[in-house]
């Protein structure tokens, strides 16, 4: 176990881990704006402020994962979970496994559903045709082109983030008067999405801080599916200071970006919420209001590429996870992975057929609730206690 606790906070490893968190969070679902509208912007003037709380909760939890991995030198989520959840390590690893599998299916389904919606809005395609094309593209790339997608994923990530930043700067400048007016009147949405454990996804309620707070907590919950990738990306971290640097830098990046997109979408209230097309792809709608033809062309293209890249990456990760245990007697690995990918994508396609709004409002909500009990609270209680115990043991060992 590495006992070094002090050192530089911001190193290539800590900054790299923070950017992995940023690029994973700022993927297709984020870039479409659907999540920001449903979980923050549609709840009123305090919506753009709550991302700072949400990302803080995520940062604390990610810290436990990364620091446990660093202390124990165990970097896969299964291995470090066994240490973080002690004395219920096996149960903890199973709980995280379930969360990551569900996240993979739900996020991939959201990509396919968003792709179908994008095709409908841009080209007038029927939703079934759009989702079928997304299914076939993702299946083909998962079998034959995963390396191409993986090698270009960072380029796509940098491109989509760069365009989002341009959209944010242009949008916040143009819509500053609207934002100022909405805040001056302390605007709340009279038909905000109602948070409830049961009930229809379309249920509404007059916006209140309590309702918005629950949605913000839920957003933090379903983002826990990224914790494994974040901890693994911190591999090579040597000190506790580096772990802190990773989550601090990650907090700044993610909270500012999330709050910025929420504020941009909030500037379009209430139409961005009441317009059915705008409600599904809010950021694309706001881009259309900027009167910048180049962005109106470029943003949909980059959004489509981000959807495909994310779906292929997630699908391939799940295929790799299942590959050692499924169809073991089939010698041809490419055929075996192709069959697994096809079955996985059929499940994902079935979920996506319920629509992007269902995935965002319902699937993510229940995933968020599950993750609070399966990941966040256990890691806050057991994870921090086990980190402190390892620190004490290392201190005592060094003193001998």
b/e burial code for range 277-303 (CB count within 10 A of at least 16 → b): ebbbbbbbbbbbbbebeebeebbbebb
Q: Which pLDDT tens digit goes with each residue over 194-231?
A: 998 876 566 888 889 999 999 999 999 999 988 988 99
| pLDDT, position 335 | 85
Distance from C-alpha of 278 to C-alpha of 285, rounded to nearest angstrom: 5
If pLDDT is split at 50, 70 and 90, which confidence band does 396 have? confident
Which of 328, 355, 354 lies closest to 339 in space, CA to CA?
328
| pLDDT, position 202 | 67
Mean pLDDT, residues 138-143 taken together: 84
pTM for the complete prediction? 0.90
Alpha-carbon separation of residue 196 from 69, 203, 211 (angstroms): 35, 9, 9
Whether residue 174 has pLDDT greater than 60? yes
Q: Which pLDDT tens digit goes with each residue over 232-252?
A: 889 999 999 999 999 999 999
Higher model confidence: residue 5 or residue 119? 119
Q: Which pLDDT tens digit goes with each residue over 334-344?
A: 788 888 888 99
Residue 333's contacts (CB-CB under 8 Å, 6 or more residues apart) are: 323
Contact 341, 317 (CB under 8 A): no
Mean pLDDT, residues 305-312 taken together: 85
Q: Which residues, in sequence order, are bridge partners of residue 192?
A: 205
If pLDDT is split at 50, 70 and 90, which confidence band does 322 have? confident
Average pLDDT, the chain: 89
Q: What is the CATH number of domain 12-395?
A: 1.20.1740.10
What token pair was written down for 217? 């907590």
């Amino acid at each position: 176990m590495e006992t070094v606790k002090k050192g530089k906070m911001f190193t290539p490893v800590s900054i790299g881990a923070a950017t992995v968190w940023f690029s994973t969070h700022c993927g297709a679902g984020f870039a479409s704006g659907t999540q920001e509208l449903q979980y923050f912007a549609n709840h009123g003037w305090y919506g753009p402020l709550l991302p700072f709380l949400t990302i803080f909760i995520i940062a604390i939890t990610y810290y436990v994962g990364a620091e446990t991995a660093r202390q124990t030198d165990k970097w896969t989520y299964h291995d470090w979970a066994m240490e973080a959840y002690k004395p219920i390590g096996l149960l903890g690893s199973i709980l995280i496994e379930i969360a990551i599998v569900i996240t993979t299916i739900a996020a991939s389904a959201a990509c396919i559903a968003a792709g179908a919606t994008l095709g409908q809005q841009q080209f007038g395609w029927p939703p079934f045709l759009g989702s079928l094309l997304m299914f076939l593209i993702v299946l083909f790339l998962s079998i034959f082109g995963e390396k191409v997608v993986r090698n270009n994923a960072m380029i796509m990530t940098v491109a989509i983030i760069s365009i989002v930043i341009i959209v944010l700067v242009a949008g916040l400048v143009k819509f500053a008067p609207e934002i100022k007016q909405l805040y001056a009147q302390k605007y709340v949405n009279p038909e905000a999405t109602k948070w409830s454990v049961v009930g229809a996804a379309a249920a509404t309620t007059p916006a209140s801080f309590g309702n918005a707070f629950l949605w913000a907590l839920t957003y933090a919950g379903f983002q826990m599916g990224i914790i494994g990738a974040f901890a693994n990306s911190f591999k090579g971290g040597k000190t506790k200071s580096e772990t802190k640097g990773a989550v601090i830098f990650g907090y700044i990046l993610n909270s500012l970006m999330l709050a910025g997109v929420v504020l941009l979408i909030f500037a379009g209230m209430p139409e961005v919420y009441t317009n059915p097309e705008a409600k599904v792809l809010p950021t694309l709608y706001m881009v259309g209001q900027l009167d910048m033809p180049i962005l109106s062309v470029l943003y949909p293209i980059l959004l489509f590429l981000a959807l495909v890249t994310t779906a292929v990456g997630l699908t391939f990760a799940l295929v790799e996870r299942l590959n050692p245990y499924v169809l073991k007697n089939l010698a041809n690995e490419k055929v075996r992975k192709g069959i697994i990918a096809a079955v996985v994508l059929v499940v994902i396609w079935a979920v996506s057929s319920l629509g992007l709004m269902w995935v965002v409002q319902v699937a993510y909500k229940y995933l968020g609730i599950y993750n609070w009990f399966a990941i966040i609270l256990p890691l806050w209680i057991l994870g921090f206690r086990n980190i402190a115990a390892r620190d004490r043991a290392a201190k005592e060992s060094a003193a001998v």
